[in-house]
Amino acid sequence: MSDLLLADLDRRTVLQGAAALGVPVALSRRRRRRRRLDQQEGDGSGLPRIASEQAEHLAAAVGVVIHLHFGGTVYAHTGRVVDAVSDLGVRHVRNRITRTTGGRQGFTELARRGVRINGVCGAAGDPQTMFEVFSEIMRTYPDPTAVFSSFEGINEPNLMGRPWVEETRLKTRGMWLQRQAQGLQEIPIVAPALARLEYGGVEGADTQAQSANLGSLAQYVDYGNIHVYPRGMNPGTDIDEFMGYQRAVVGNKPMYCTEGGYFTGMNYVGGSNPTPADTAAKYTPRQIMEHWSRGNKRFFNYELLDDHDPSGADRESNFGLLAVEGNGPDDRWTPKPAYTAIKNFVAILGDPGGSHAPCGLRLQVSGVPDLRTALVAKRDRSRYLVMWRDVLSYDPRARQAVETSTRTASVAIGRPRDVQVFLPNRSASPVQRLGTVDRFEVPVGDELVICRIL
């Protein structure tokens, strides 16, 4: 059974359950209207009806990590950072909440431009209390709901090399209490994410044991949280594993991934694996979709900017979407291919505006056994079929490219429609116009493919 058909069945199950509990009249009317539209779409084709999600929800699921509070680094150029985020087009950034001038000015200007902040509250080992964090929020931002999309717990507390469980539990509870006290309940709380540890950890030898020892924080958080770096492997690597660990902390709550990505310092030697910039660009849109397909509500690419590293050997300096020539105010920032891929992805799928009932489509995709798919819709009733394969493009251990064979996906739709093909790694404009057809074929290799169907 295809991923799309399974998604449709899951959606119907949710709707049936909602009906049993008593669905509001407005929702019931929207559903009846959508059913009528879907019946018109069918034209007796016999193809399965596939449900869709709102395209803007997928575009808005993409965020990027920034560090406006890092004085003395390239992030100290607040105006340039804000301009780069605006150009990238993402709706969300992740940054720690601090009292720094750069952080305050940057948050305010980003919010003015429609970008909201996932604010990390405090840090492990820092004496700052949650009362102090939320006092900063209320004192600095007249309307925090217009600035923050979420509050996140302390970052990777299990990396401190000392006992951390009690502090993490206390600060998470304190974050929840302060949110309640300040009347900010509409801003969700995201659980603290644990870093990857494979042996020798404190209060748990590895991440799995540490998650179990941290225990449930479900009563204090709205979303779980994972950090997943595939270490040069396929974008889907380790996601299920880390989601499984996080279940001990948040139960069945939905999740974010607030850090993930690839570093491009090809002279690095150590315990991880660098990835060439062109391969990282192929992987990045697919990594977004690997999280989306599992129901993760937001994925933050780590990070916006490199640190200046002429050697190309420092791992932490080469995660950026923008390469930098220096830390000066006028030094050049150059988009890496992954920056362009994210920018195009968001531009193709973005559909800002109020919520709408997305229309489904009579659709069947065949011919590629390992193909993964998702369907989203815009307000103009255009549907976007996203297709990708979780295949390796580069062998990180041998440090050489892997030839990925291209497979042809055959797509059938209920009636003839205008079809355009997009490759976000190459352009925000269609790379091919197939005309008005009810069947078409699309080659899918190691790049994500998007088909617009109207």
pLDDT tens string 37-76: 555 554 546 999 999 999 999 999 999 999 999 999 999 9
Nearest to 147 by CA among 211, 176, 102, 104: 104
154 and 270 inside one domain? yes
Which tokens hold the place of 304? 């916006």
The reply to whether 403 falls in a domain is yes
Return the CATH number at 15.
2.60.40
Residues of the chain with pLDDT under 50: 1-25, 27, 42, 44
What residues contact residue 17 under an 8 Å CB cut-off, 6+ apart? none
Q: Is residue 249 domain-shared with residue 382, that is, in the same domain?
A: no
Angle at 126 between CA 198 and CA 75, to 5 degrees: 85
pLDDT digits (tens, 9 = 90+) for 170-206: 999 999 999 999 999 999 999 999 999 999 999 999 9
Q: What is the CATH number of the domain that holds 218?
A: 3.20.20.80
Q: What pLDDT, on a 0 to 100 scale, did the predictor assign at position 37?
A: 53
Q: Convert 114-149 to b/e letters by CB count within 10 Å (16 or more is b).
A: ebbbbbbbbbbeeebebeebbebbeeebeebeebbb
Residue found by looking up tokens 């902390």 in the block = 249
Same domain, 122 and 45: no
In a domain, 354, yes or no: no
If asked whether residues 375 and 285 sit together in one domain, one would say no
Residue 188 · residue 152 · CB < 8 Å: no
Instruction: Please give the tally of structural domains in the chain.
Output: 2
Q: Does residue 415 lie in a domain region? A: yes
pLDDT for residue 271: 86
Are residues 265 and 382 part of one domain? no
Q: Which residue, 349, 372, 389, sits at the end of a domain? A: 349
Same domain, 442 and 300: no
Q: Are residues 42 and 163 in the same domain?
A: no
pLDDT at site 40: 52
190 lies in the same domain as 250? yes
Q: How far apart are CA 316 and CA 309, in angstroms?
A: 10
Of the three residues 308, 327, 349, the one that is the final residue of a domain is: 349
| 325 within domain boundaries | yes
Candidates 28, 63, 138; CA nearest to 291 is: 63
Statement to judge: residues 345 and 406 lie in one domain: no
297 in Cβ contact with 61 (< 8 Å): yes
Specify whether 293 is located in the same domain as 326.
yes
Q: How remote is the C-alpha of 206 from its chain's centroid?
A: 25
Q: How many residues does the structure list for the chain?
A: 454
Distance CA 332, CA 328 (A): 9
Residues 137 and 187 in one domain: yes
What is the pLDDT, as a whole number, of residue 32? 62
Are 43 and 71 part of one and the same domain? no
pLDDT at 45: 66
Host domain of residue 139: 56-349
pLDDT over 90, % of the chain: 89
Q: Which of 320, 349, 378 is the last residue of a domain?
A: 349
